[in-house]
Chains A and B, each alone.
Chain A
């Protein structure tokens, strides 16, 4: 390590630096700068067009947030949504992955079909579901009414409890395939001879799954969980397009509320405070996962 001073090593060092500089610059520009800017904004008062100078106001916006019922509601909605959708997605994801790992005819087509919801943009998926949920013309109510299950249309997106459930269904439908894909990659890296050995010892299929498959899938599952939880904690397009946060504020996520504060009420500083809190929540969640991952290894 001390040989850094030799001309050859110095050149190597410089070359390495030259290679990472562009990437670092891009990361600083699109990642670090906005985060710092949001933090700075959240502690001050400024005008949107820059006509009035930035004024430091300390924790004023955060104090206001603590008193803001709508903010707590948004935080709660976000956590509930994450808490409901992630376990369901995981269960579905594992199921789909195991299924896709089996040998059967049309396996290629089946894999493609499973990936389809993930490949489509969320906004498009959501609009599609919004039509199916539509109280007066939607598919679900048409089926429910015609089969005689109900005699008055169900207001899927207009009822406080149903709206959250409807939103979770769309999320699970869309992202289970992503979970499945990561888990499938993990499945395929499990050596076949482990199962052979298991069979020789007289393991049942369920025992194989519990004793061999699941333990070896821990890594991929944790990766999938981290990525999806971060996504769910930031969810925006889904409530924005499906319910616009309604009814009342029953599906208003943190991102959606921050967006409304920033773009509807044009209060950038207050909105920045919400975003910073959201950042901390996601950060804490990621830290938790990473620590779990390290312990398990």
Chain B
């Protein structure tokens, strides 16, 4: 009986003042932006105690999250209010009307602070539909202790990677140790891998004239190298064909691989205090094939944060968005978690000088290559699917490399002509 009165009072207060407390649902993975999400939520709560945020932790495997978004956005669901969007979907989602234009909700100054070429990825009809949260790319991680043990230099080319892998695995004589691991499951990450390999051989998705050139000589050669790495040289585990980024990271972290090629985010878990490889690894730029030292072989990615047009609290969501992507927040994420900022002026801050890891990531981004999402717009998911499928066909030796890439070229040409 004692409790009835306060409960009643609270109930009355809640019904009488419905407008004060607002609820927002934020949809973002827990891995990509790492500890910054939690920290930003805390800080926002301090400034805006009236707005409560529910963090919907979605998958960090982009394809899985995309399915979730497509379902709820097609159904015009009001939640999530805010959603993290992969750079490759930003344009498509904006085109489909799945992201609220931000120009009316945020002032021009806030928007203008961001890197303009990143903003372009989310700009449709002159309106910005999402703000870039961070940029990332794939890097080549290696075991410093193993290289040292066998007197090897850090490999710069794929030829050197292969030789070093062979020296190390033969020297160690441990069947549980592999040369190279990466994410070759049929996921977006496989396409990123392929772009890294092919661009590193002077090839790529487009030729110099901007035409789709998936089946170029350079691409066939680079893809064949991937196939040989697996089937002929046996430098990768068979499970590389099912491996997603975290699977590859786990093998490397357990000390079962000499080389690892995935995105930035693995740096934090690999260097964590209890990590078996902490202090025994470093990373460098994605390798290239001999004679292509200027190749842009770092496949780039990044995530945006946007607002659901069916959200019932767009103003509060906009306020949260501005806070979440603000300069101070990006600086903290950069200095503490090595997340590459999207506001150029963050790089000028003096506290940035202390972060060598991020500086090195940044050096690799100078050799960046983006995926063909801008050129294929809302058809990008199908372009990526065709590429993933045909590369997988080649890796499983279901088709010879040349045939697989010819098939991909043909299907993509037909698709883009539709």
Contact = CB atoms under 8 A, between A and B. Distances in A.
Contacts of A136: 237, 239, 247, 250-251, 256
B183 to A, nearest CB: 13
Contacts of B242: 135, 155, 157-158, 246-247
A248 B175 contact: no
Nearest to B239: A135
A104 interface: no
Interface in A244-264: 244, 246-249, 260, 263-264
Contacts of B71: 263
Given A135-B237, A155-B238, A248 B70 contact: no
A160 B237 CA distance: 16
Contacts of B239: 134-136, 153, 155, 158
Contacts of A263: 67, 70-71
- Mostly helix, strand, loop or mixed at chain B's interface? helix
B143 interface: no
B97 A264 contact: no
Nearest to A157: B242
B186 A264 contact: no
B74 A151 contact: no
Interface bin, chain B = 20 to 34
B385 interface: yes
A204 to B, nearest CB: 50
Q: Tell me if A's interface is mostly helix, strand, loop or mixed.
A: loop
Contacts of A155: 238-239, 241-242
Given A135-B238, A136-B251, A151-B175, A160 B396 contact: yes
A131 to B, nearest CB: 12
Nearest to A259: B67
A264 B385 contact: yes
A50 to B, nearest CB: 10
Contacts of B385: 260, 264-265
Interface in B382-410: 382, 385, 389, 392-393, 396, 398
A159 B230 CA distance: 14
A135 B185 CA distance: 13
B63 interface: yes
B262 to A, nearest CB: 16
A49 interface: yes
A48 interface: yes
A246 B391 CA distance: 13
Interface in B239-262: 239, 241-242, 247, 250-251, 256
Nearest to B187: A244
Contacts of B392: 246-248
Given A263-B70, A265-B382, A249 B238 contact: no
Interface in A144-161: 151-153, 155, 157-160
B353 to A, nearest CB: 40
Nearest to B394: A248
A152 B74 CA distance: 46
B197 to A, nearest CB: 19
A207 to B, nearest CB: 50
Nearest to B378: A266
Interface string B132-173: 000000000000000000000000000000000000000000
Interface string B94-125: 00110000000000000000000000000000
Given A151-B175, A248-B396, A48 B74 contact: yes
Interface of A: 48-49, 134-136, 151-153, 155, 157-160, 244, 246-249, 260, 263-266
16 contacts: A49-B74, A134-B239, A135-B237, A135-B239, A135-B242, A136-B239, A152-B175, A152-B238, A155-B239, A155-B242, A158-B239, A248-B186, A248-B396, A263-B67, A264-B67, A266-B74
Q: Give me the 3 closest cross-chain CB pairs, A-B, nearest first.
A: A135-B239, A155-B238, A158-B241
